[in-house]
Chains A and B, each alone.
Chain A
Amino acid sequence: MFSLLLQKELKNIITSPKFTATFLVCSLLILISVFIGINEYENAVAQYQANQEIARQNIAEATSWGRVRNLLHREPNPVQIFVSGVHFDVGRLSNISDYNDVKLVRSPYSDETLFAIFRVIDFAFIVQIVLSLFAILFTYDAINGEREQGTLKLAFANSISRAKYLIAKFSGIWLGLIVPLLIPILLGMLMLIAFKVPLASTDWLSIISLVGLSVLYISLFIVIGILVSAITRSSSLSFLLLLVIWISGVLIVPRLGVMAAGQIVQVESVAQIEAKQEAFQKARWDDYSAELTEVWQEREAQMEGMSDEERTAYRDEMEWTWLEEDDASRKQVQSDIITNNRRLLEESQNRKKLQEQLAFNIARISPVASFQLAAMKLAGTDVGLKNRYETSMRLYKDDFSEYIQQKEAEEGGHGGFNISIDSEQGVQIDFGRNDQTLDTSEMPQYQSPELRLQDTVGAALFDFGFLGVCIVLGFGGSVLAFMRYDLR
Chain B
Amino acid sequence: MQNSTIQAAPLLEAVELTKVYEDGVKALNNLNLVVREGEIYAMLGGNGAGKTTTINAFLDFIQPTSGKALINGIDANALPLEAKKHVAFVSENVQLYPNFTAMQNLDFFVRLGGKSHYERLDYERALHRVGLQSEAFDRKLKDFSKGMRQKCGIAIAILKDAPAILLDEPTSGLDPKAGKEFTRLVAELRDEGKAILMSTHDIFRAKEIADYVGILNNGELVAEKTKAELEGVNLEELYVEYMAGYMDEAPVSGSLSNNLS
Contacts and interface: CB of A to CB of B under 8 A. Distances in A.
Interface of A: 1, 4-5, 8, 11-12, 15-17, 149-151, 153-161, 486-488
A157 B99 contact: no
B114 interface: yes
Nearest to B60: A156
A160 B81 contact: yes
Given A8-B108, A488-B56, A150 B99 contact: no
B100 A15 contact: yes
Contact of A159 (B95, B96, B114): B114
A161 B84 CA distance: 11
Contact of A488 (B62, B82, B84, B160): B62
Contacts of B111: 4
Interface in B111-150: 111-114
A151 B97 contact: yes
Contacts of A159: 80-85, 114
A4 B112 CA distance: 7
23 contacts: A4-B108, A11-B100, A149-B95, A149-B97, A149-B98, A150-B96, A151-B95, A151-B96, A153-B61, A153-B91, A154-B91, A154-B96, A154-B156, A155-B112, A156-B61, A157-B87, A158-B114, A159-B82, A159-B85, A160-B112, A486-B61, A488-B61, A488-B62
B108 A150 contact: no
B61 to A, nearest CB: 5
Contacts of B153: 154
Contact of A157 (B84, B97, B108): B84
A435 B93 CA distance: 99
Contacts of A11: 100, 104
A5 B112 CA distance: 8
B94 interface: yes
Contact of A12 (B56, B82, B99, B166): B99
B85 A487 contact: no
B89 interface: yes
Nearest to B59: A157
A153 B93 CA distance: 11
B88 interface: yes
Given A15-B99, A151-B95, A157-B88, 17 more contacts: A4-B111, A15-B100, A150-B93, A150-B96, A151-B96, A153-B59, A154-B89, A154-B91, A156-B59, A157-B166, A158-B112, A158-B114, A158-B160, A159-B80, A159-B83, A159-B114, A488-B56
Contacts of B108: 4, 8
